[in-house]
Structure 1
Amino acid sequence: MRVIKEGENYFGTVYHIYKNQVEIRKISVTRVHQTYEGVEYIFLLDSRGKVIKEVFNFINDYCKAEVRNSKEQAASALKLFYSFLEIRDITVQDLDRNEVNNLSRFILGDAIEGNLYQLLLTTKRSISTHNQYLDTIRKFMKFIEVKSDYLFEQTVASISKGGFGLLSHTKTITVNKYKTNVTRHNSFVSYVPKYISLQEFSKVKKFIVSRNSRHNSRDLLIINLMFTRGMRLGEVLGLTLEDIKVHPKDSNAGILILRNRLSDKKDQQAKTCFKVFKKEDYNSNLYTEEGIGYQTITVPAALMGDLKQYIETSRDLLLLSDSVLDNIFQNSIADSLDNEHEPNYYLFLNKNGTPLTAGGFNKMLKLVFMNIGISTDHKNKKNNLSHRFRHGYAMYLIENMNKDISYVKRELRHKSIQSTLQYYNPKHETILEHTKELEKKLLDYYKE
């Protein structure tokens, strides 16, 4: 699969195309200003260095009477437009519904995954810029007399406007709006993968390591627990110091115990474990039965070492301020189940020394995703952020380790196969690869 990354050079934005991590092509649509006989002309050069004639005529002839800022804005919109056309290897005549949707996401700066390539963008644009650029592209399409029905498709919207004063009346008017224009209430629904691939997991880890943050070890540890052990975020955040045990068969490895406590907040609960409502529940037969009251997860030696290291550094008395230490000892206390005479504390802490919340972690994760080009879905939280790592673990077991569904069910601690089957969500490019493999095998069979 080809990977296209956005970058910068002396002339502006450039898109580098890689195949097997080797750059094979560079897309660079360049804006040029040239003065001739006292008149300034603005035009674009494609990646081959040739003038895009229809753009030259549009900006310098059709838009001749407009102010300079308007012509510059038109040049910016069309520069992005022709960059998109080159990336997709299409012409303006090929702008069907699917390509217009892709163009919209491209302008916004959302990561687009196609069947044959992955596009990673770093520049994000506002909704107003998106709509201005699309308006310019529509005007340009009319100028060159090329139709694109979906790009020009309109809908009727009602707007209420009020007058001034207590006795004023509210007037409702109707206006036509382009369907492809984005509002804060109807942004494009883009395809968002339900899981993190092994390659994306590696990118997430590399980006976290590159940050200048004292929480690097904490954040790496959390995503490792989710991706390599299939833990839910709530299960991770609900871990306490007494839930980390040495493995009876290997002193370097460990076992994590997942269970619910009365002291847990909503985002610290183990979803499929027995929920407690009073202290007496801790002594019930259901709470103390493995698989119902609690679950266990085996931790390999390296990950166990990371857990021990994080415990030491996150609670180092010499490195922490008095206020952080006070918060740890007073506000991160968890119910103690193994020894009621010993204090117990939640494992993962925020910068203030209180338990890390799902909101705080997901806020950090969203920034990571945006920086490395992994798309997020604001409308469907099931496809979003932290849970994709657990899905990624399931898909890795299936696609990379060839494990059967029963093995995956046990690793995810599901109660039914039906729950596990929902985790099988191959990406479009994977489906395409499998289809090609099947086609090849069928063709080879008929040749025999």
Structure 2
Amino acid sequence: MDIREMVKGSKSKYEVSIISDGKRVVLGIVDVEVQQVDYNNEKYILIYDSNRRVIRDAYKYINLHLKDSSINTRTLTATALVKLYSFLEIYGFKIDNLEKNEMEVLKTFLYGNSKTGLLIDTMLVKSREAKTINKYISIYRGYFKYIGIDNKWINEKVKSSKTLSRDSFGDIGDSYKASERVSKAKKVPKYISEKQFDAILKCIRKHYGIREELLVRLMYQKGLRIGEALGLTIEDIKDDCIIIRNRISDGEDQHAKCLYQPISEQDYKGSKCLSLDFGFNIVKIDSELHELLERYIYMYHEKMVKRKRTSYRKYCKADRVEGNNFLEGDNYYLFINRESRPLRRTNWNKYLKKIYLMCNIEIDKEKKSKLLNHRLRHGCAMKGLKDGKSLEEIMKILRHSSLMSVMVYINPTDEDEYEANESIWDSRGIELNDID
């Protein structure tokens, strides 16, 4: 039997097949889904099996038994239960008849390991770490107890001088035998903290200039992606906002993700380009940031007009969509280099890496350098969360259309999780179906 994970966004479904007469025959698709709904000003989380039936026990546990828990805790619980019920459907196991062997297979499934076996081949895309596995197992422990299942494997404890990890949730001196050992290796955080951002600004103001400050502020304070920032032009800068959009003249480094890509100049006047949140985004800015942008335009662009006029007009000119009052009526890309060309992402990454190192900010050498920029956008989301903003507010700041997309940006460190004692995972809203 073959088990293949198919991923779309943050959602997974599984194709189960067999090899018959040298051909792969699909037996079925396991598509267990979690959905969040709003009803009478309350948030409910539903889990559907592959036949689109609500899993009643899971519904009651999440929305009734855990009703006093935060929506984030309930969402994490739902995410873990989706994996459990997917596993049950794939292997044909019964939830009330899971022995040690079945639970060990479940653990392997949760890890997301691809494996070739005598009878079953698994090709799983997503992978998880021991810390996440322990959280899931802890959730299953509470869920099994709620539905009246005494699973000895998941409840067995062992005596120890200390717990295996903070996720084992055992008494002092005890730990659950099912818990995985968690590596103590320090991981590079996925976001820039507020303290780190302050250090970055101090470093830039001492060793760099306005251009570098504007780029990190746009990403950290306003949630811009690096491609959106590099694609800004002079006409996109307004008194109280900036406009994000795509142009035909944009290079590969200047793409505004999720926005319409015009094909011809006529598109600029069409309904698609003129539709808010489809053809363009509006990002509000304060007077301080606007003044810094204006100062940069006059300092850098006027200098280039005088020093390298021909090259500047040839390489920095951008399509004019609205019209502007700067630089003889033509439109130009905002961020430029010393050679009077649009700033390239590869060159900017070198600057940012040096800035991080000067500020003693850890860099994951195994990750692509473009993730250095995304850590600033992640920092925007995490700062909003710590400042008490709701997920809906963060969604608007990041200009996403669903909470599911926002969850990717919520990456608490071990310290964050210890302080908050909760994690935030994927959720998605739909219209409520009647549930008896």
TM-score, length-normalised on structure 1?
0.50
Deviations 1:33-67 (A, max 9, x none): xxxxxxxxxxxxxxxxxxxxxxxxxxxxxxxxxxx
Q: How far apart in 1 are the matches of 2:376 and 2:351?
A: 15
Q: How far apart in 2 are the matches of 1:382 and 1:345?
A: 27
Could you tell me which residue of structure 2 aligns to residue 314 of structure 1? 300
Report the secondary structure of 1:296's partner residue.
Answer: strand
Could you tell me which residue of structure 1 aligns to residue 366 of structure 2? 379
Q: 1:199 aligns with which of 190, 195, 203?
A: 195
Q: How far apart in 2 are the matches of 1:233 and 1:277?
A: 22
Q: How far apart in 2 are the matches of 1:378 and 1:274?
A: 34
Could you tell me which residue of structure 1 aligns to residue 380 of structure 2? 393
Report the secondary structure of 2:243's partner residue.
Answer: strand
Taking the TM superposition and a 5 Å limit, the aligned residue runs for 1:118-197 are 191-197=187-193
Taking the TM superposition and a 5 Å limit, the aligned residue runs for 1:293-372 are 293-317=279-303, 322=307, 324-339=308-323, 342-372=329-359
After TM superposition, give the deviation of residue 331 of structure 1 in Å.
1.0
Distance 1:245 1:321, change over 3 A: closer
Could you tell me which residue of structure 2 aligns to residue 256 of structure 1? 242
Could you tell me which residue of structure 1 aligns to residue 232 of structure 2? 239
Deviations 1:190-224 (A, max 9, x none): 6221110000001111111221x4xx111001111
Deviations 1:371-414 (A, max 9, x none): 22112223333883111111101100101x10110000011100
Contact 1:333 1:345 in 2 (8 A): yes
Contact 2:223 2:381 in 1 (8 A): yes
Specify the structure having the higher radius of gyration (Cα): 1
4+ residue runs of structure 1 moved beyond 6 angstroms? Answer: none
1:229 aligns with 2:222: yes
Q: How far apart in 2 are the matches of 1:383 and 1:373?
A: 18
Give the fraction of aligned pairs with identical amino acids, expressed as a percent.
33
Distance 1:190 1:266, change over 3 A: farther
Q: How far apart in 2 are the matches of 1:383 and 1:320?
A: 31
1:402 aligns with 2:388: yes
Gaps of 5+ in 2: 1-184, 423-436
Report the residue type matching 1:332 in the other structure: C
Deviations 1:126-145 (A, max 9, x none): xxxxxxxxxxxxxxxxxxxx
Q: How far apart in 2 are the matches of 1:316 and 1:343?
A: 13
Q: How far apart in 2 are the matches of 1:353 and 1:200?
A: 31
Deviations 1:153-179 (A, max 9, x none): xxxxxxxxxxxxxxxxxxxxxxxxxxx
After TM superposition, give the deviation of residue 435 of structure 1 in Å.
4.2
Could you tell me which residue of structure 1 aligns to residue 397 of structure 2? 411
Q: How far apart in 1 are the matches of 2:309 and 2:201?
A: 29
Contact 1:234 1:268 in 2 (8 A): yes
Report the secondary structure of 2:253's partner residue.
Answer: helix
Taking the TM superposition and a 5 Å limit, the aligned residue runs for 1:17-32 are none
After TM superposition, give the deviation of residue 261 of structure 1 in Å.
0.4
Report the secondary structure of 2:290's partner residue.
Answer: helix
After TM superposition, give the deviation of residue 269 of structure 1 in Å.
1.2
Could you tell me which residue of structure 2 aligns to residue 209 of structure 1? 205
Distance 1:272 1:307, change over 3 A: same
Distance 1:329 1:305, change over 3 A: same
After TM superposition, give the deviation of residue 355 of structure 1 in Å.
0.6
Report the secondary structure of 1:297's partner residue.
Answer: strand
Report the secondary structure of 1:351's partner residue.
Answer: coil
Could you tell me which residue of structure 1 aligns to residue 277 of structure 2? 291
Contact 2:349 2:369 in 1 (8 A): no
Taking the TM superposition and a 5 Å limit, the aligned residue runs for 1:29-44 are none
Aligned-pair Cα RMSD in Å: 2.2
After TM superposition, give the deviation of residue 369 of structure 1 in Å.
1.1
Gaps of 5+ in 1: 1-188, 247-253, 437-448
Report the residue type matching 2:419 in the other structure: E
Q: How far apart in 2 are the matches of 1:218 and 1:352?
A: 15
Contact 2:243 2:280 in 1 (8 A): yes
Contact 1:234 1:267 in 2 (8 A): yes
Report the secondary structure of 1:368's partner residue.
Answer: helix
Contact 1:193 1:383 in 2 (8 A): no
Distance 1:232 1:355, change over 3 A: same
Report the residue type matching 1:329 in the other structure: R
Report the residue type matching 2:206 in the other structure: S
Q: How far apart in 2 are the matches of 1:243 and 1:390?
A: 20
After TM superposition, give the deviation of residue 327 of structure 1 in Å.
2.2
Report the residue type matching 1:370 in the other structure: L
Bigger relative contact order, structure 1 or 2, given CA contacts below 8 A and separation 6+? Answer: 2
Distance 1:279 1:238, change over 3 A: same
Could you tell me which residue of structure 2 aligns to residue 270 of structure 1? 256
Contact 1:235 1:268 in 2 (8 A): yes
